[in-house]
Amino acid sequence: MVDIFIDGKKIQAEEGRKLLEVALEAGIEIPHLCFDPRLKPYGACRLCLVEIKGERKLQPACATLVREGMEVTSNSVTLYKIRKKVIELLLSTHPEDCLTCERCGDCALQDLAYKYGVRKSPYDGEKPWMLLEDHNPLIFREREKCILCGRCVRICEEVQGIFAYTFINRGFKTVVGTAFDEPLSLTNCEFCGQCLSTCPTAAIVSRLEIGKGREWEFKKVETVCPYCGCGCVLELKVKNGQVVGVTSPLDSHNRGNLCSKGRFGWEFIHHPERLKKPLIRKGKSFKEAKWDEALDLVAKKLNQIKKKYGPQAIGFLSSAKCTNEENFLLQKLARTVIGTNNIDHCARL
């Protein structure tokens, strides 16, 4: 552990940690756009520049490692002017459609423009215009809103190892795209949604959440993903009693990372064909039944099969949507009550 000073405040931190992380954990706000704690330092947006005593140049806090006795100034007149200028430059090529933007109220660039009082960029000129990416049912890309922070490219490479995204073209025409600018559906993209989880603007959003509401309208409910035994933490966006979207907090054990099922597989919750009560076959059709009636029928049938054909005629299939405790009880039922080892799991292969 080392002692550092940020704006005169003494902070103990682990030596070698990134200065920006230490500051944020200490409640000191340093603006940033290209930083994500899941990714390697990038230093692209230049918003997190700070003054360090003894250093001739301003240093990016996201890529600067703390050391003993470091004295840092995170906010000054000089830094304020530089950050405001960076925001003005970003907004010079950014669409001015905040009123209808999907990320209004949940956009890092919008928040910074408000904080630094940038109502309109003083730089008028050509704005990029690109066709909307509209070739898959899950991820919607509006590349005009991209600020080239590279977070989607890096999370796809560093966390997922998929390399679906890259920077294409040069200069003013640089955009984030795929190899040969193919649709995501024609690449090796796994549609995990990691890119939209890290995007600070509305350049990449979930198609399932479009038009479902604004961030301030949502009630956030924390729960556990039902799809496997990893136990990833989900944060449900609930509006009017309906789940309209899913995210995952960065301070969870899965660090905000989700697979495609965890991030996009939530529409079953309110699906009209979802089974909510047990069904018993009567004749050629299924009829709703009470739980006691259904469980009694299952027990009766299992006993009949065991008595007539033996326990090895019965098999059990467990589910990843169950808890570990429930799966343990199922195998105990199979082995100790029925007397068979014929038990398998849907996620084994």
Per-residue model confidence as pLDDT tens digits over 3-35: 999 999 999 999 999 999 999 999 999 999 999
Among candidates 294, 329, 335, 292, which has minimal Cα distance to 315? 335
Q: 67 pLDDT exceeds 80?
A: yes
Phi and psi at residue 341, in whole multiples of 5°?
Answer: -100, 15
Nearest Cα to Cα of residue 343 among 318, 307, 322, 321: 318
pLDDT of residue 173: 87
- Angle at which helices 108-115 and 77-91 pack, to 10 degrees? 130
Q: How far is C-alpha 218 from the geometric centre of its chain's CA atoms?
A: 16
Residue 324 has pLDDT above 80, yes or no: yes
Closest CA to 345 of 228, 260, 265, 232: 228
pLDDT band at 134 (very low <50, low <70, confident <90, very high): low
What is the distance between the alpha carbons of residues 239 and 213, in angstroms, rounded to a whole number?
8
Task: Say how far apart CA 250 and CA 244 lie, in whole Å.
Answer: 20
Would you state the structure tokens that stand for residue 309, as one six-digit string?
A: 């054909």
Instruction: Count how many Cα atoms sit within 13 Å of the Cα of residue 224 in the half-sphere of its side chain.
Output: 11
pLDDT band at 131 (very low <50, low <70, confident <90, very high): low
Number of other CB atoms surrounding residue 94 within 10 Å? 22
Q: Three-state SS for 25?
A: helix
Query: Rounded distance, CA 147 to CA 175, Å?
Result: 9
- Identify which has the larger pLDDT, 124 or 79: 79
Under the banding of pLDDT at 50, 70 and 90, the label for residue 230 is confident
| Alpha helices (runs of H) in 170-290, residue ranges in sequence order | 194-198, 260-264
- Note whether 193 and 138 are within 8 A (CB): yes
Q: Where in the chain is the domain with CATH 3.30.70.20?
A: 98-270
Q: What is the mean pLDDT of residues 190-197?
A: 95
User: In this predicted structure, what is the pLDDT of residue 231?
Assistant: 86
At 239, the amino acid letter reads K
Task: Examine the pLDDT at 349 and tell me if it is beyond 70.
Answer: no
Least confident piece of the model among 41-55, 78-92, 309-323: 309-323
**Chain-centroid distance, C-alpha 207:** 14
Distance CA 219, CA 196 (A): 20
CATH 3.10.20.740 domain position(s) in the chain: 2-75
Question: What is the reported pLDDT for 257?
Answer: 96
**Fold that domain 2-75 belongs to in CATH:** Ubiquitin-like (UB roll) (3.10.20)
Q: What percent of the chain has pLDDT over 70?
A: 98
Q: At residue 87, does pLDDT exceed 70?
A: yes
H or E element in which residue 303 lies? helix 291-309
Which of the four CATH numbers 3.30.750.24, 3.30.70.20, 3.50.7.10, 3.40.50.150 does domain 98-270 have? 3.30.70.20
Lowest mean pLDDT among 97-106, 127-136, 306-315: 127-136
Candidates 46, 114, 115, 123; CA nearest to 91 is 123
Q: What count of other Cβ atoms lies within 10 Å of the Cβ of residue 268?
A: 10
Confirm if 51 and 81 have CB atoms less than 8 A apart: no
Encode pLDDT of 31-61 as tens digits: 999 999 999 999 999 999 999 999 999 999 9
CA distances for 295 relative to 8, 193, 314, angstroms = 67, 39, 16
- Count the residues in the chain: 349
User: Does 75 have pLDDT greater than 80?
Assistant: yes
pLDDT at 345 exceeding the cut of 70: yes
